[in-house]
């Protein structure tokens, strides 16, 4: 089963954030979309990713968007920053998924779905904060971490789970005292993401509430959004529905509001 | 999605939202068939982690349930719901409910005929009088003490007395139930409950494989609780005669308790006695008579006529058995396990105090039994991953040790299947006292392997 060395090795292997991305984010941070776009153009993989993701149907653009300046202009500062962070997280994803039945496209779909729906939620809550907008980008990194740590132990996990319904987060915690979200936090720290982002992600596990009530409220929305997405057929088929434990009591008081916004009936 | 199997109940736990967009994703016929192969009494879908569902979301489950019921007697349904969810499910399906609804999984276990925990006092309420009666009958047949309430007022009044009941059942609905003969374990005896008219159907309702496995893993006394049997015909007589013959090969005893011969020919009794079957008026005549119990059951393990020894086929596969055990213990403890010594002899346990044991049988292309003996503290450590916290609750530790040995059994099955050797595994058995284990295996020759991890020792014993 997963050993401490596996965790240390994973953390050690997290690459530093590329300079181009750091510069792009710094420029987005000060609201200079034009200069940010010029810098971002230097990274062809980033450009390709941005084009791929914003042209997904969920973004709702009638015409294909090709230029980064155009993309940043349409998305605005907060969502542009969120999308660049999505790209950074995407850099950690494996070329071949073994534990979860995902691929590049389905992982991008998950990122896009979470990002757009998170923006709808923040709009509903009247929150306009670029770090809070960007925080959703870090959430799928928990899936990448689970994939990286457990893919060597698929048979063991399957055997264990025929006896007890343990999710990956619980198994990891009981074995190492680390949660998937602790490791996400380490990614955020290494990539110099705002501390607020890590705090929301930690609280969104539903197991590690923040002292800040406002943050906890956001965490509830994020937790429920995650399970809304992980209940979609594509992600259930990918084996993601039970990758962490859904804390149903944690989100009980916001469910009706969530159902209204997401038009669930 | 895979089921978690515990107490003979296969449980699926979807999370989040169940609607038309995902209803076929959570549960497939392959998932169901894989679970049925484990000989479960029930297949249930837990609603504990479901925050939203609509009828479209449940329809696929219902279709699969119907399919299961067409080919097996496995009980199917939902559990772990709240009152609102219960009312919604009943509203969706109104008069078409042929599946069961159990308020929680613990209540479901009570209706599983092979659930070991018996003799519970249970308060029941349903606004449907047929349901009230059906629940009371099922629970009574399973060895519990149901208390039926006729009105909601009476139920609300009685439930205030929390200490008077082990379980309180409401918001529960029984659909089509299983028809297998209930069995329970009492000490070293297995008690089967038979009711009504005994005829040729007994060949279908008696779980012969369970019985044979029980013989193989050392049970020597089988009691038929026949208080509620009205009569039996010649087909049932033949069945019991054959069963007695097979039991004799293991020096096992079969007894009937409470069987009346008012409507059954007396000559049947003579035939059954000739086959070696014993008759008692009351269950306590056996269970409360320690000397008789020992004569009939515990001590007989040492006198097996059909004493089987370890054979070449088993020895050839020994490394796989050890690998499965070592891999499981390593997985559960994250410590490296080391094989210290392996020898063929009768089991030797130097220090019996402070140790617990568990065994699991396997049968099919190969047959035999794996026994693990742990110092209690080490067993606790090995079970930490499953329990999630430190505990001194011995019942919980033994229960979890059984789960651990079940994982070992699963691993053995997988490793052997890689070599096209197909085996099934029995339910695990645990021993709080080493003497109880020795009563079953002390005369059996097998391979004993001493293993250690993190300087702690445990014992592996493989026998037939």
Per-residue pLDDT tens digits for B255-296: 999 999 888 898 999 999 999 999 999 988 888 887 887 777
Closest-CA residue of chain A to B22 = A233
**3-class SS of residue B409:** helix
Which of A187, A149, A182 has the alpha carbon at shortest distance from A168? A149
Which chain B residues have a beta carbon less than 8 Å from that of A248? 48-51
**pLDDT band at A250; cut points 50, 70, 90:** very high
Closest Cβ–Cβ partner in B5, B22, B54 for A236: B22
**For residues B406 and B425, is the Cβ–Cβ distance under 8 A?**
yes
Instruction: List, for residues B160-214, the tens digit of each pLDDT value.
Output: 998 999 999 999 998 876 556 666 666 667 888 888 889 998 988 887 877 877 7
- Residue A109: per-residue pLDDT: 93
Which phi and psi angles does B233 have, rounded to 5°?
-110, -175
Site from B7, B10, B12, B17 to mutate, A interface, most A CB atoms within 10 angstroms: B17
- Residue B300: per-residue pLDDT: 44
- From chain B residues 102-161, the ones with a CB under 8 A of any chain A CB are none
Which chain B residues have a beta carbon less than 8 Å from that of A7? none
- Residue A224: per-residue pLDDT: 95
Can you tell me the distance from the alpha carbon of B27 to that of B23, in angstroms, rounded to the nearest whole number?
8
CB contact under 8 A, B21 and A255: no
Listed in sequence order, the residues at least 6 apart from A148 whose beta carbon sits closer than 8 Å to its beta carbon are: A10, A94
Full domain range(s) for residue B428: 312-463
* pLDDT reading at B141 higher than 80: no
Give A94 to chain B, closest Cα distance, Å.
23
Site from A99, A101, A150, A165 to mutate, B interface, most B CB atoms within 10 angstroms: A165
Query: B234 lies in a domain?
Result: yes
- From chain A residues 199-228, the ones with a CB under 8 A of any chain B CB are 224, 227-228
**pLDDT band at B345; cut points 50, 70, 90:** confident
Residue A13: CB atoms within 10 Å:
9
* pLDDT reading at B298 higher than 60: no
Can you tell me the distance from the alpha carbon of B21 to that of B349, in angstroms, rounded to the nearest whole number?
58
Which chain B residues have a beta carbon less than 8 Å from that of A152? none
CB contact under 8 A, B15 and A259: no
Residues B317 and B298 in one domain: no
Question: Which of B114, B145, B169 finishes a domain?
Answer: B169
How many structural domains compose chain B? 3
Residues B296 and B421 in one domain: no
Residues B29 and B89 in one domain: yes
* pLDDT reading at B368 higher than 50: yes
Domain with residue B412: its CATH number is 3.40.1550.10
Closest-CA residue of chain B to A232 = B22
Q: What is the dihedral of CA B375, B376, B379, B384, to 10 degrees?
A: -140
Residues B197 and B110 in one domain: no
Closest-CA residue of chain A to B48 = A248
Pairs of residues, one from chain A and one from chain B, whose beta carbons lie less than 8 Å apart: 107
Question: Which of B147, B169, B191 finishes a domain?
Answer: B169
Residues B10 and B159 in one domain: yes
* pLDDT reading at A222 higher than 50: yes
- Residue B187: per-residue pLDDT: 61
Closest-CA residue of chain A to B53 = A265
Of residues B50 and B445, the one with the higher pLDDT is B50
- Nearest-10 crossing angle of helices A213-230, A130-138: 40
Domain with residue B196: its CATH number is 3.30.750.24
The DSSP output letter for B3 is: P
Highest mean pLDDT among A2-11, B134-143, B258-267: B258-267
Which chain B residues have a beta carbon less than 8 Å from that of A160? 331, 385, 407
Can you tell me the distance from the alpha carbon of B16 to that of A251, in angstroms, rounded to the nearest whole number?
11
């Amino acid at each position: 089963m997963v050993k401490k060395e596996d965790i240390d090795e994973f953390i050690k292997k997290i690459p530093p954030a590329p300079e181009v991305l750091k510069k792009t984010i710094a420029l987005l941070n000060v609201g200079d979309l034009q200069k940010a776009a010029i810098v971002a153009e230097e990274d062809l993989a980033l450009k390709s990713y941005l084009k791929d993701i914003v042209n997904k149907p969920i973004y709702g653009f009638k015409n294909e968007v090709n230029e980064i300046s155009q993309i940043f202009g349409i998305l605005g500062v907060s969502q542009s920053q969120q999308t660049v962070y999505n790209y950074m997280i995407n850099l950690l994803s494996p070329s071949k998924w073994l534990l979860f039945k995902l691929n590049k496209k389905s992982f991008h779909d998950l990122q896009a779905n979470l990002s757009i729906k998170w923006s709808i939620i923040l709009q509903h809550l009247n929150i306009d904060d670029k770090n809070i907008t960007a925080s959703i980008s870090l959430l799928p990194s928990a899936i990448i971490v689970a994939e990286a740590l457990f893919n060597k132990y698929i048979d063991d996990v399957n055997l264990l789970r025929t006896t007890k319904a343990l999710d990956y987060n619980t198994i990891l915690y009981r074995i190492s005292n680390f949660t998937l979200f602790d490791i996400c936090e380490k990614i955020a720290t290494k990539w110099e993401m705002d501390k607020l982002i890590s705090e929301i992600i930690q609280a969104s596990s539903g197991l590690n509430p923040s002292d800040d009530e406002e943050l906890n409220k956001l965490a509830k929305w994020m937790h429920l959004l995650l399970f809304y997405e992980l209940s979609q057929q594509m992600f259930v088929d990918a084996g993601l529905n039970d990758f962490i434990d859904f804390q149903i009591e944690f989100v009980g008081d916001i469910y009706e509001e969530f159902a209204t916004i997401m038009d669930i009936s | 999605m895979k089921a978690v199997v515990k107490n003979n109940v296969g449980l699926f736990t979807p999370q989040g939202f169940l609607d038309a967009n995902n209803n076929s994703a959570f549960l497939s016929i392959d998932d169901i068939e894989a679970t049925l192969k484990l000989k479960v009494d029930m297949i249930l879908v837990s609603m504990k982690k479901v925050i939203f569902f609509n009828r479209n979301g449940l329809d696929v489950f219902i279709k699969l349930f119907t399919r299961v019921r067409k080919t097996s007697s496995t009980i199917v349904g939902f559990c772990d719901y709240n009152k609102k969810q219960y009312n919604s499910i009943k509203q969706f399906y109104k008069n078409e409910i042929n599946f069961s609804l159990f308020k929680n999984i613990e209540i479901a276990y009570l209706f599983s005929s092979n659930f070991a925990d018996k003799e519970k006092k249970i308060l029941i309420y349903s606004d449907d009088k047929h349901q009230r009666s059906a629940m009371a009958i099922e629970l009574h047949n399973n060895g519990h003490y149901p208390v039926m309430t006729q009105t909601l007022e009476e139920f609300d009044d009685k439930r205030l007395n929390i200490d008077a009941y082990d379980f309180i059942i409401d918001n529960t609905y029984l659909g089509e139930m299983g028809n297998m003969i209930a069995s329970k374990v009492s000490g070293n005896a297995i008690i089967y409950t038979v009711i009504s008219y005994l005829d040729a159907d007994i060949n279908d309702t008696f779980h012969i494989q369970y019985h044979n496995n029980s013989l193989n893993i050392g049970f020597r006394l089988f009691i038929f609780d026949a208080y509620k049997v009205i009569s039996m015909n010649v087909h049932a007589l033949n069945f019991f005669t054959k069963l007695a013959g097979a039991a004799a090969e293991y020096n096992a005893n079969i007894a009937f308790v409470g069987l009346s011969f008012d409507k059954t020919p007396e000559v049947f009794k003579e035939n059954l006695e000739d086959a070696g079957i014993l008759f008692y008026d009351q269950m306590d005549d056996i269970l409360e008579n320690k000397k008789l119990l020992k004569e009939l059951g515990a001590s007989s393990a040492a006198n097996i006529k059909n004493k089987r020894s370890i054979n070449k086929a088993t020895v050839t596969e020994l490394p796989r058995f050890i690998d499965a055990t070592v891999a499981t213990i390593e997985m559960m403890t994250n410590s490296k396990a080391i094989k210290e010594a392996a020898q063929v002899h009768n089991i030797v346990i130097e220090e019996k105090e402070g140790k617990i044991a568990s065994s699991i049988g396997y049968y099919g292309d190969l047959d035999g039994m794996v026994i693990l003996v742990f110092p209690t503290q080490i067993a606790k450590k090995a079970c930490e991953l499953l329990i999630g916290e430190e505990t001194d609750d011995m019942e919980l530790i033994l229960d979890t040790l059984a789960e651990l040995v079940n994982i070992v059994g699963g691993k053995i099955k997988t490793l052997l299947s890689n070599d096209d050797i197909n085996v099934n595994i029995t339910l695990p058995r645990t021993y709080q006292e080493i003497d109880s284990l020795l009563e079953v295996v002390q005369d059996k020759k097998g391979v004993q392997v001493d293993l250690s991890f993190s300087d702690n020792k445990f014992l592996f014993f493989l026998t037939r």
